[in-house]
Structure 1
Amino acid sequence: MSTRPWIVDDDLWMLIEPLMPPWPERSPGPRPVADRLCLQGILYVLYNDIAWQLLPLELGFGSGRTCWRHLERWQQAGVFDRLHRILLAELNAAGELDWSRACVDGSHIRAKYDSNPHREELRKRRILPVISRRGAPNIKGLGKLRYVVEQTFALLHQFKRLAVRWERRTELHDAFVSLACGLICWRRLKKHRS
C-alpha cells in the first residue's frame, strides 16, 4: 500500500468519474473544488479518522464542509454503491470471487429453532446449516468458516473512520462502508491484474 492511500489513481478515477452526478449550474461564490480532490479529501477522513473541520486545507482537498457536502450528494446519487457493484462484477468476471457460500456473522432467532425440521428445510433450499446442537462441544472446522467474517472485519478496520462510528446519519456511515468495500475490491482487482 502506498504511504498516501487517499490518493485516487487514474484507473480508479476513470471508473468513478462517470458515476458522479453533474453539479447544478454554477452560482456566485467561491470556485468549486474538483470532484477528484474532494474524493481524496473524503478518503483522507476515511483513512485517518479526523473530524471534518480538521481536514488540512494545505493538501488542496477543500474544506471539510465542502468534502462532507460532496459525500452527502454522492451518497444520495448512489455513487459508492454503484462503484462497489461494478467492482464486484469485474472481480467475478476475473474469477476472483467464490460464490459457493455466504457467511452470516450473526442471526437473532429464538433458541429452540435448532431442530431437525428446520435443518431439513434449509437442506431443501440447498443451504448447509452450520449450527451447534445443544450440548455439543464444538463444530469441527467452524474456525475456517469464521475466518471469512473476521478477515472482512480486519479489511474494513484499516479504514480508521469505520472503527468508531462518528457519523450521526446512518446513510453517511453506509456511504463510507460502501466506499471502503469498493476500495478493497479495487485493490484485489489491481493485484489480480498485475
Structure 2
Amino acid sequence: MARPKPWHVEDELWAVIEPLLPKNERRTRFAGRKRHPDRLVFQGILFVLHTGIAWEHLPQELGFGSGMTCWRRLAEWTEARVWPRLHEVLLAKLRSANVLDFSRAAVDGSHIRAPKGGSKTGRSPVDRGRAGSKHHVITDATGIPLAATLTGGNRNDVTQLIPLLQAVPRVRGKRGRPRRRPDVVMGDRGYDDDKFRRLVWALGVKPLIARRGTEHGSGLGAQRWVVERAFAHLHWFRRLRIRWEIRDDIHEAFLTLGCALIRWRRLVSTSR
C-alpha cells in the first residue's frame, strides 16, 4: 500500500481541526463562487509548510485550490486564532494519554534567515549581519513543544525565557486543576543571568542553567538535548528553515502549526 504524503490530512486529524475552524454560511441569494473545501485548502497549506514552495507555484492539479486561496484562508484562520486553540487541544490530548512530562522543561533558540525582512527581524550576529529571525521553543522532558515564540535575529535567547514560560497554556486533559508550569526549566549558557533566574523562581519554577566561564560537563546536555531534537523536527518543515513571510503573524502561524504536527505525530505513535 502506498504511503500517504505528509501533507495528507487523515480523518482523525481532520476531526480535531474542523471544529476549530470558523463557520462560513453561504448566502442563498447572489452566493457567488462556491468556497473551496476547507480540508483541501488545509492540505495546500501543509504542502507549502512541508516543501517550502512559493504560494504562486502551488500545483493546481493536486486540488488544493490556488496559492492565493490557501494564503487567504491561512490569514483568515490565523486571525480567528485557530492555531493556538489547536495547540491547546493537542496538549490536552497528550496529557490525557499520560504522554506529557512536566517534571522538567528545556528551552533554546535557533536562527533563521529572513531575506524579505519584516517585523520581528533583525541583523543576525551569526549571519554576517543579514536580516534574520529567531525561533524560540520550550519543550517538556520528552521533547514535545509546549510553546514557541518568534523574535528578531538580534535578540538574546535569555530575553525569551520568561515569555516562553508564560506562553505555555493551561493544559487540561485530566481531572483537577490544569497544569501549566514545569517543575524545572533547563537552559544553556545563553540563559545565564541571575536576574532571569529570580524571575523564573518567581513563577514557581526551578532554573537549571549552565554558568558562563565554567568547564563543560554540567550534565544538562544529557537532558536538554530534547529541545535540539525538537528544532531538528521543526526545521524538517522547509518553510521554517528560511522565513519568506514579511508578515510575522503568518510565519508564526507556520511555526505553531509545525509544533502542532509534531504533537499529533507523538499522539498517534503512542496510541498504536
- Which range, TM-score by smaller chain? 0.7 to 0.9
Structure 2 CA distance, aligned partners of 1:22 and 1:137? 57
Counterpart residue identity of residue 14, structure 1: A
| Equivalent residues in 2 for 1:67-78, closer than 5 Å | 67-78=70-81
Match in the other structure for 1:130: 209
Match of 2:219 among 127, 131, 141: 141
By relative contact order (CA 8 Å, sep 6+), the higher-ranking structure is: 1
Could you tell me which residue of structure 1 aligns to residue 233 of structure 2? 155
Q: How does 1:32-181 map to 2 (within 5 A)?
A: 32-105=35-108, 106-108=157-159, 113-114=193-194, 122=201, 125-132=204-211, 135-181=213-259
Counterpart position of 2:8: 7
Letter in 2 for 1:42: I
Aligned partner of residue 107 in structure 1, secondary structure = helix
Q: CA deviation at 1:130?
A: 2.2
Partner of 1:173: helix, strand, or coil?
helix
Closer, same or farther: CA 65–131 of 1 in aligned 2, 3 Å: same
* In 1: Cα distance, 2:203 partner to 2:80 partner: 39
Partner of residue 21, structure 1: 22
| Amino acid in the other structure paired with 1:22 | K
Give the AA of the match of 1:75: T
For 2:11, the aligned partner's letter is: D
Cα deviation, residue 149, structure 1: 1.8
Q: Alpha-carbon deviation of 1:24?
A: 5.0
- Larger CA Rg, structure 1 vs 2: 1
Residues in 2 aligned to 1:49 and 1:68: alpha-carbon distance in whole angstroms: 13
Shift >3 Å, 4+ stretches:
24-29, 108-115, 121-126
Give aligned pairs, total: 189
The letter of the residue matching 2:158 is S
Structure 1: tracts of 5 or more residues without a match: none
**SS of residue paired to 2:105:** coil
| Coordinate RMSD, CA, aligned | 2.6
In 1: Cα distance, 2:86 partner to 2:223 partner: 27
The structure richer in helix per residue is 1
Counterpart code for 1:107: V
Partners of 2:18 and 2:191 in 1: how far apart? 48
Q: 1:108-145: CA deviations, max 9, x gaps?
A: 49999449xx67x949945143231x542124212223
